[in-house]
A = this chain, B = another copy of it.
Amino acid sequence: MGRVVVDVMPKPEILDPQGKAVASALARLGFGQFGSVRQGKRFELEVEGEVTGEVLAAAREAGEQVLSNPVIEDVVAVYADEVRAGGTQA
């Protein structure tokens, strides 16, 4: 089984109030080194079998047509990822 990750972020010119709220919270909690924060979405799509170039192309299309709102968001990354076995990865 393969997994494809599709990352969607608000366009750079779009205001991101969620990210701004997170940045203020981080500053209050002692993480002042992070001056600016933007928050987006990460989708993990699972496919039967291997992640081929075709699968990646379909995932990008799905990202652009379904997973993101192209008026305010960009699909910033589409890549194959290892399937975690219940743990966390570095």
Residue positions of A touching B, CB distance < 8 A = 4, 7-9, 12-13, 19, 22, 25-26, 29, 31, 33-48, 55, 58-59, 61-62, 65-67, 74-78, 84, 86, 88-90
A33: chain B residues at CB < 8 Å are: 47-48, 55, 58
A67: chain B residues at CB < 8 Å are: 22
Q: With both chains docked as a complex, state the minimum distance between the C-beta of A39 and any C-beta of chain B, in angstroms.
A: 6
The residue in A31, A35, A90 that gathers the most chain B C-beta atoms within 10 A of its C-beta is A31
A22-B43, A47-B33 are known contacts. Are A74 and B88 too (CB-CB below 8 A)?
Answer: yes
Pairwise interchain contact A29-B66, C-beta atoms closer than 8 A? yes
A44: chain B residues at CB < 8 Å are: 9, 19, 37-40
